[in-house]
Amino acid sequence: MASVAPAGNERVPRIRDGIRVTSESHLGTTRAPARRRLLVVEDDADVREVLVDALRAEGYEVAAAKNGREALSLLAAGPIPDAIVLDLLMPVMNGWEFREAQLRDTALARIPVIVVSASSPGPIGTSVHLVKPFELATLLAAVERVAERAPRS
């Protein structure tokens, strides 16, 4: 993680793996009611770790997969998450292929998806698209908004 010491009261963002973490990120200040469940699908181990750690700090129960195929296996095994945070550019099964498979399965199709990718998702019907690099605070706000609207499984 790259960090820079602030001069005086100046706030300097720390950047780790394309995710900006600033003092305004407020890690741990949002409480996920009733332990909302999330699935993070990201092939980059460092980015996946940052996302999982940040979401757990907010009170979410988080499972993680390194590609779409692994994510489908986790979904089949249960429990069903309240939202999915999905990268698009991954080996084995990319985000677009995952989303197509998710939409074909009526039990999984209702799960809202937040895409976090440098690529445009195109018309795959996601709830939110955040372009990498993105502010961690923006992701946390999007996850809170999307997960809270999700019906409980």
Question: Is residue 41 a part of any domain in this protein?
Answer: yes
**Residue 50 binned pLDDT confidence (cut-offs 50, 70, 90):** very high
Number of domains in the chain: 1
Question: Is residue 145 a part of any domain in this protein?
Answer: yes
Question: Is residue 6 a part of any domain in this protein?
Answer: no
Question: Is residue 9 a part of any domain in this protein?
Answer: no
**Residue 34 binned pLDDT confidence (cut-offs 50, 70, 90):** low
pLDDT tens digit string along 67-103? 999 999 999 999 999 999 999 999 999 999 999 999 9
Q: How does the average pLDDT of the chain come out, rounded?
A: 82
Stretch (H or E) spanning 61: strand 61-65
Report residue 110 as tokens.
Answer: 């209702």
Question: Is residue 4 a part of any domain in this protein?
Answer: no
CA distance 97 to 36: 25
**Residue 9 binned pLDDT confidence (cut-offs 50, 70, 90):** very low
Question: Is residue 99 a part of any domain in this protein?
Answer: yes
On the CB side of 39, CA atoms within 13 Å amount to: 28
Domain that holds residue 74: 14-149
Question: Is residue 3 a part of any domain in this protein?
Answer: no
Question: Is residue 60 a part of any domain in this protein?
Answer: yes
CATH code for position 23: 3.40.50.2300
pLDDT of 49 strictly over 90: yes
For position 81, what pLDDT does the model report?
Answer: 96
